[in-house]
Chains A and B, each alone.
Chain A
Amino acid sequence: MLLLIQYTLIFASVLAIVAIGGCFSEHGGVINIGLEGIMVIGALGGALMMKFLPGTMAATAVMISVILASLLAGIVFSMFLGVAAINFNADQTLVGTAINLLGPAAAVVIVRAINTAQNPDNVSSTVAYGHAKKVFIVNIGKFEFNWFMPLAFLVLVCAYIVLYKTKFGLRLCACGEHPQAADSVGINVYRMRYAGVIISGALGGLGGLIYITAGVSEWKFENGVAGFGFLALAVMIFGQWKPINIGLTALLFGMFRALSNVYTGFDTLAALKLPSTVYNMLPYIISLIVLVFVSKKSRAPKAEGIPYDKGQR
Chain B
Amino acid sequence: MQRVEQYAIEMLNITKRFPGIIANDHITLQLKKGEIHALLGENGAGKSTLMSVLFGLYQPEEGEIRKDGQQVQINNPNDANDLGIGMVHQHFKLVECFSVLDNIILGVETTKGGFLKKDEARKKVAALSEKYGLLVDPDALVEDITVGMQQRTEILKMLYRNNQILIFDEPTAVLTPQETKELISIMKNLAAEGKSILFITHKLAEIMQAADRCSVLRKGKYIETVDIKDSTPGKLSAMMVGRDVNFTVDKKRCRPQAVVLDVKGMTVASKRRKDNAVNNVSFQVRRGEIVCIAGIDGNGQTELVYGLSGLEPLKEGTITMNGADITHMPIRKRLISGMSHIPEDRHKHGLVLDYSLEDNIVLQRYFEPQFTNKMGFLRRKEIRKYANRLIEQYDVRSGQGAVTKTRSMSGGNQQKAVIAREIDKNPKLLIAVQPTRGLDVGAIEYIHKQLVAERDAGKGILLVSLELDEVMDVSDRILVMYEGEIVGEFEPDKVTAEELGLYMSGSKRKEKGVDE
Contact = CB atoms under 8 A, between A and B. Distances in A.
A181 B78 CA distance: 13
Interface residues of B, number: 25
Contact of B102 (A168, A170, A180): A170
Is chain B's binding surface mostly helix, strand, loop or mixed? loop
B482 to A, nearest CB: 28
A184 B96 contact: no
Given A170-B109, A178-B94, A178-B96, A184 B115 contact: no
B93 A184 contact: yes
Contacts of A185: 77, 81, 93, 106-108, 157
Contact of A177 (B78, B98, B105, B111): B98
B96 A167 contact: no
Q: Which of B89, B107, B108 has the most CB of A within 10 A?
A: B107
Contacts of A313: 57
Contacts of B116: 165-167, 170
B245 interface: no
Contacts of A182: 95, 106-107
A133 interface: no
Contact of B95 (A161, A166, A173, A299): A173
A186 B77 contact: yes
A183 B108 CA distance: 13
A174 B115 contact: no
B97 interface: yes
Contacts of B20: none
B120 to A, nearest CB: 14
B76 interface: yes
Interface residues of A, number: 23
B442 interface: no
Contacts of B106: 170-171, 174, 181-182, 185, 187
Contacts of A161: 115
A313 B87 CA distance: 15
Contacts of A171: 106-107, 109
A51 interface: no
A302 B142 CA distance: 14
Interface string A169-211: 0110110011011111111000000000000000000000000
Contacts of A168: 114
B95 A174 contact: yes
A184 B107 CA distance: 9
B77 A177 contact: no
A1 to B, nearest CB: 41
Given A186-B76, A186-B77, A180 B93 contact: yes
Contacts of B98: 170, 173-174, 177
A90 B379 CA distance: 36
A131 B132 CA distance: 69
27 contacts: A165-B115, A165-B116, A166-B114, A166-B115, A167-B109, A167-B111, A167-B114, A174-B106, A177-B95, A177-B96, A178-B95, A178-B96, A181-B103, A181-B106, A182-B95, A182-B106, A182-B107, A185-B77, A185-B81, A185-B106, A185-B107, A185-B108, A185-B157, A186-B76, A186-B78, A310-B57, A313-B57
